Amino acid sequence: MSVKLTAEKREVRPRSLRKQLRHEGKALGVVYGYKVESTPIAFEEKELLKIVRENGENVLISLKLDGKNINVLINRRDMDVFTPTVDHVEFIAVKMDEETEVEADVVLVGEAAGAKVGGFLSQTLFKVTVAATPDKLPENVEVDVTNLEIGDSISVADLPEQKDFRIVTEGDIQVAAVVESTLEQELEEIEEAEAEAQAEAGEDNEAEATEESSEEAKEENEDNK
């Protein structure tokens, strides 16, 4: 299923025209790809922001341009550095029966068993590359971490096969792991250090006591003489 966005062709120059379009609330972009020559366009910025907010970056868009509907994906979206506005968008026209690759967010689901007993769940991979036809592209990939114990990890190869898309990221890349809590490790190290210090102190005291006893015994022998 796709969402609709209307666009119009625009002139690349002059700069004053670009400023006028921005003043009117239009965002600038370009569309190219399957059966479409590279064409500069303008469209309602708020409409695109709404589409992305409600559907994500990987949504299939039916772009209406010159009375024709073009199936497109957002290939790149540049935001203004200083304001929450769209600076420029690249739309790529796609063929509906061919796979395309995009990045999808990795979302961890569930509470890891190891986290319930003091472990710490660490996510090490936040995006994966997926391949699917344009109408089946996911916005995110959920990873169930419920059964992970302390010391366990899960990699891309461990993820279950999906019906609508393929994960093409290398399988040996780690997604998440449950490790011992840093706080617990620090406490254990502190306790070990204190125990070692006490043991060393005990050895020193014993050595001092032995030395004192030897001195006293020597003095007694001299007195007896």
Q: Are 45 and 85 in contact (CB under 8 A)?
A: yes
Q: Do 165 and 215 sit in the same domain of this protein?
A: no
Q: Which pLDDT belongs to residue 207? A: 53
Task: Give yes or no for residue 225 having a pLDDT over 80.
Answer: no
Nearest alpha-carbon partner for 36 in 81, 71, 87: 71
Q: What is the pTM of this model?
A: 0.75
Query: What is the mean pLDDT of the segment spanning 51-80?
Result: 94
Contact call for residues 103 and 129 (beta carbons, < 8 A): yes
pLDDT at 181: 75
Long-range own/partner contacts, residues 38-41 (CB < 8 A, 24 or more apart): 39/9, 39/65, 40/9, 40/10, 40/11, 40/12, 41/7, 41/8, 41/9, 41/10, 41/65, 41/91
**Phi-psi region at 198: left, alpha or beta (left = phi > 0; alpha = psi -120 to 50):** alpha
Tell me: pLDDT of 216 over 80: no
Q: Are strands 166-167 and 100-109 parallel, antiparallel or unpaired?
A: unpaired
Where is the domain boundary, 94, 112, 141? 94
Q: At residue 53, does pLDDT exceed 80? A: yes
Q: Dump pLDDT digits (tens) for 150-185.
A: 999 999 999 999 999 999 999 999 999 999 876 656
Sign for the CA dihedral angle at 193, 199, 204, 205 comes to positive
Q: How many distinct structural domains can be found in the chain? A: 3
Mind listing the pLDDT tens digit for each residue in 39-50?
Answer: 999 999 999 999
Give the pLDDT of residue 194. 79
Does 174 share its domain with 189?
no
| Cα–Cα distance measured from residue 127 to residue 105, given in angstroms and rounded to the nearest whole number | 5
Q: Which residue has the higher pLDDT, 218 or 147?
A: 147
86 and 105 within one domain: no
- Domain range holding 25? 3-94
* Maximum C-alpha span of the chain: 124
CATH number of domain containing 12: 2.40.240.10
At 162, which CATH number? 2.170.120.20
Domain boundary among 94, 119, 153: 94
pLDDT at 21: 86
pLDDT exceeds 80 at position 38: yes
Task: Respond yes or no on whether the N-terminal peptide bond of residue 14 is cis (omega within 30° of 0).
Answer: yes
**Residues 42 and 74 occupy one common structural domain:** yes
Summary mean pLDDT of the chain: 87
Predicted local distance difference test score (pLDDT) of residue 182:
67
- Rounded average pLDDT over 86-112: 95
Average pLDDT (79-85) is 72
